Amino acid sequence: MIGAVLFDFGGVLTSSPFEAFAAYEAEAGLSPDTIRRLNSTNPDDNAWARMERREVDEAGFCELFEAEAAALGLVVDARRVLAGLRGELRPAMVEALRRCSERLRTALLTNNVAPMAESAEAGAASGVVDLFDVVVESSVVGCRKPELRFYEIACEGLGVEPAACVFLDDLGINLKPARAMGMTTVKVVDPDAAIAELEAVVGFPLG
């Protein structure tokens, strides 16, 4: 029986940063999915991973990320890439979260570059973060999705077993360990379809 719903932030509650990355790639004359390719190269210890664990600051990330791009013969403006992380809230998904929070335990699981309280992300999430019982941020806890410990922290905070959880994320790599732990997972590609899938899992209307 489902007792908790876990939500990713960017790409689930907000528009996907990959949309902004694609726009920057087109503007800069980069091949499609250049940013995604950089992020998936050495994914556990690259500039992106180190920033999300807060092992480097923004300036350190920019230096490392641009060096990683240069090693592939690319010129990338890391600060423009970071600007793409600021998505727009999806009202229907926020409403689904609100309805879940009225009946079930809820948690936010987000890989981010700085604590939401200190970043522009907090503005985009105004009033939304308060709906969660537990908030797990990579920049705060020092680990990140898809590391197993990240999901364990969420379950411990909620006081539930993984099998009682359903987790929504837009990246399959982040859903895989959750599913292996016993969670029900929903991949968010089309938000409306994901909400319908979540509604079927929890058994009550979300819109």
160 pLDDT band, cuts 50/70/90, is very high
Return residue ranges of the chain for CATH 3.40.50.1000.
Answer: 4-16+87-202
Amino acid at 186: V
**pLDDT bracket for residue 87 (50, 70, 90):** confident
Residue 171 CB coordination number (10 Å): 19
- Quote the CA–CA distance of 14 and 124 in Å, as a whole number: 8
Mean per-residue pLDDT, 7-13: 95
Identify the band that residue 142 occupies on the pLDDT scale cut at 50, 70 and 90: very high
- Does the bond joining 205 to the residue before it have cis omega, within 30 degrees of 0? no
* % of the chain with per-residue pLDDT over 70: 96
Confidence label for 122 from pLDDT (cuts 50, 70 and 90):
low
Mean pLDDT value of segment 156-160: 98
Indicate if the pLDDT at residue 125 is higher than 80: no
Instruction: Tell me the pairing of strands 165-169 and 4-7.
Output: parallel
Which of 142, 120, 121, 132 minimizes the C-alpha distance to 168?
Answer: 132
Split at pLDDT 50, 70, 90, the class of 124 is low
Query: What CATH topology corresponds to 17-83?
Result: DNA polymerase; domain 1 (1.10.150)
Residue 171 and residue 148: Cα distance in Å, rounded?
15
pTM: 0.88
pLDDT band for 126, please (50, 70, 90 cuts): low
Q: 65: which 2 tokens?
A: 């990320």
pLDDT beyond 70 at 120: no
What pLDDT sits at residue 117? 80
Task: Work out whether the CA dihedral 173, 137, 69, 44 comes out positive or negative.
Answer: negative
pLDDT given at position 110: 96
Residues of the chain with CATH 1.10.150: 17-83
For residues 151 and 139, give the distance between their C-alpha atoms in angstroms, rounded to a whole number.
Answer: 14
* Average pLDDT value over all residues in the chain: 94
Residue with tokens 């979540």: 198
Q: Which CATH superfamily is domain 4-16+87-202 in?
A: HAD superfamily/HAD-like (3.40.50.1000)
Quick one: average pLDDT of 69-89?
92
- The pLDDT confidence band at residue 123, using thresholds 50, 70 and 90, is low
